[in-house]
Structure 1
Amino acid sequence: MKRAWYTGHSADELGSSAILVGDPERVGRIGALLQDPVFLPVKRGLATVTGTWNGKKVSIAAFGMGAPIATIVLHEFADLGIKRFVRIGTAMYFPPASGGDFLISDDALVFDGTSPAYGVPMGERVAADTSLADRLAASATAAGETPTRGLYATYDAFYRDMFGIDAKGNARAAQMRRDMAAKGVVAVDMETSALLAAGRDLGVAVATLCYGTVDALSQEKLGAEALESGELTMFKLALDAITAD
C-alpha cells in the first residue's frame, strides 16, 4: 500500500477533498464538527482527521507555518488522489477589507521561495481555482456573510516582511505594507501563492479562505471573542464549499 513520505497516510485514509490549516489544534476543533471523525497518526506534527460533512468524506490536515511544508502536505495528498483543496487560516488585511471579514483568494503575488519550483517566478501572479473560489463566496453569502475577494501576497519571513519586532523588521514590513496597498492587495499570508502554484502545476483545484484578524496598516488585532466566533464560521464555510456538488 502506497503511503506518503512525510504525513504517512494512504489514499484510503483520506477524503476526496482536503482543508489545509496551519494550527494543529484546529484539526481537533474541526474534527469535532464532522460525522465519524477518524484522527490519523501524527508524524512530524502533521495532524490529520478524516470524517464526513454533508455526506462527503473530507480530510483536514495541519501543516504548521510557511509555504514549504504547506506544499509538501498538498503535494502528498494530490499524489494520493485528492483533487480539491481549501487553505484556511487568519491573515493580515488591507482596505477595503475590515477586521472580521472573510477573505477569498482570486489570485496571489509570489514573494515566497517555494512557488518558483512549481513554475511561477518571484513577483508574478498565480490564479486560484475560479470554481472553488466561487464556491467559497457562495458558501459565505449563504451564511449571511459578505466576503472580500481579491489579490493575496505571500511572504516567507514573517518578522521581516510582514510584522516587525525590531528596527530592521519595522522598516522592511512598513515598506511592504505601502507596496502591497498600492498594488490593491487585500490580504498577506505565508502560504497562498505557493499552494496556488503547486495546485496549478499538479492539476488540482486550490483556493484560500482566511479570516481577517490584523489590520495591515494600523497593526490593530481582532479581539479574542471575535476571533473564536469567526474561526468557527470559517470552518463551516470551508466545509460547505469543499463538499458542494
Structure 2
Amino acid sequence: MSTAHNNAKKGDIAETILLPGDPLRAKFIADNYLKDVVQFNDVRNMFGYTGTYKGKKVSVMGTGMGIPSIAIYTYELIHFYGVKNLIRVGSCGAYQDDMNLYDLVIAMGASTDSNYANQFDLGGTYSATASYNLLEKAKKAADEKGIKTHVGNVLTSDTFYQNDPDSWKKWASMGVLAAEMETYALYANAAKAGVNALTILTVSDSLVKNEETSPEERQESFTNMMEIALELA
C-alpha cells in the first residue's frame, strides 16, 4: 500500500520508528546502528529504512522541516502502515541559560504558534504532550548512560526567522526550554490516533549564548539521542 509520499508496502515499516527531520540523518542511523537494513522509501528523497537493533525490528525515516511535513508523514505512518511508537530525534535552539550545545531535551509537552489543532474543532487550546511510558523509558535510559537531559516544554514554531528577534524571550520567561518545528503536530496526530509519541532533541544552538553547531555536526554527531531513542524499541 504505497501513498503519494511513501512507496513502502504494508509490513515494510516496523511498529516503532525514529523520525529525524533530515533524511540524511535517517541514513546515518540506518548505516551505523541497524542490521539487515532494507530501504523502504525514497520518494522526494525522504529516505526510510527498516532493520533490527539488538534483535528488535525498528524503522527510521526523515520527516522534513515544519508541521505540514511531519504531519503528512506521521499521519500516513500511523493510519496506513500501522506504526505504534513514533520517536522524533531532532535539533533545537535552547532558550535557557543552563543549557549547552549537545545537551538533550526530552519534550514532555509542546506549545505552539501554529493553528494545527484547529482542525480538531476542540473549542479551546489543546496541550500536546508526550506518551508518558516512552518519556519515562527515555529518561531512565539517559540516566543510566550518564547523559544530561532537560525535561519539559518546547515551542513548536511555524517560523524559523522571526520578525521580532526577541520574541523567544517571552516563551523563555514561561519556562519553555527550546524551540523546534515539528513536535506539536507529532503529539497531536499520535493522541488522536491513540498511539505513542515522544520527541528527543539535541541542542544545536543557543539563543541565550549565541552558539551553534555546523550542519555536518547536526547530521552525524548527535549520537546520544539516537542511542536513547533506539533503546525504546
Q: TM-score, normalised by structure 2?
A: 0.90
Deviations 1:202-234 (A, max 9, x none): 111111000012112233214689757751222
Structure 1 residue 111, shift from structure 2 partner: 1.5
Shift of residue 135 of structure 1?
1.4
Deviation at 1:115, TM superposition (A): 3.3
| Secondary structure of 1:185's aligned partner | coil
Q: Is the 8 A contact 2:41 2:49 kept in 1?
A: no
The whole-number CA distance in structure 2 between the counterparts of 1:70 and 1:201 is 15
**Comparing 213-222 with 59-68, which one deviates more in the overlay?**
213-222
> Per the alignment, do residues 199 and 230 of structure 1 end up closer, same or farther by CA in structure 2, a change over 3 Å counting?
same
Are residues 1:231 and 2:218 paired?
no
**TM-score between both structures, scaled by the size of structure 1:** 0.86
Q: How far off its partner does 1:40 sit?
A: 2.1
Q: CA RMSD in A?
A: 2.1
Matched, 1:87 2:79: no
Equivalent-residue separation in structure 2 for 1:35 and 1:91 (angstroms): 29
Matched-pair contact (CA < 8 Å) for 2:95–2:169: no
Shift of 1:78: 0.5
Equivalence for 1:36: 36
Name the counterpart of 1:107. Answer: 109
- 2:201 maps to 1:210: yes
CA distance in structure 1 between the aligned counterparts of 2:122 and 2:42, rounded to whole angstroms: 31
Separation in 2 of the partners of 1:90 and 1:19? 14
Tell me what 2:165 maps to.
Answer: 173
Distance 2:107 2:175 in 1: 13
Given that 1:92 and 1:189 are in contact with CA atoms closer than 8 Å, whether structure 2 keeps it comes out as: yes
* 1:99-123 deviation per Cα after TM superposition (whole angstroms, max 9, x unaligned): 2211001111121233332567886
Task: Quickly say closer, same or farther: Cα 1:69–1:184, change in 2 above 3 A.
Answer: same
SS in 1 for 2:11: helix
2:9 matched to 1:10? yes
Say which of 139, 142, 162 aligns to 1:140: 142
The one-letter code sitting in structure 1 at the alignment partner of 2:28 is R
Counterpart residue number, 2:72: 72
Number of corresponding residues: 230
Q: 8 Å contact 2:17–2:87 — kept in the other structure? A: yes
Distance 1:153-1:119 versus aligned 2 partners, 3 A rule: farther
Task: State how far apart, in whole Å, the 2-side matches of 1:198 and 1:229 are.
Answer: 28
Structure 2, unpaired ranges of 5+:
none
Is the 2:104–2:150 contact (alpha carbons within 8 Å) kept by the matching residues of 1? yes
Paired position in structure 2 for 1:186: 177
Q: Deviations over 1:166-225 (max 9, x none)?
A: xxx3xx1312x1111111001110001111111111111111000012112233214689
Any stretches of 5+ residues in structure 1 without a counterpart? Answer: 161-168
Tell me the percent identity: 25
Match of 1:156 among 155, 158, 169: 158
Instruction: Output the CA distance in 1 between the equivalents of 2:91 and 2:126.
Output: 23
State the one-letter code of the partner of 1:45.
N
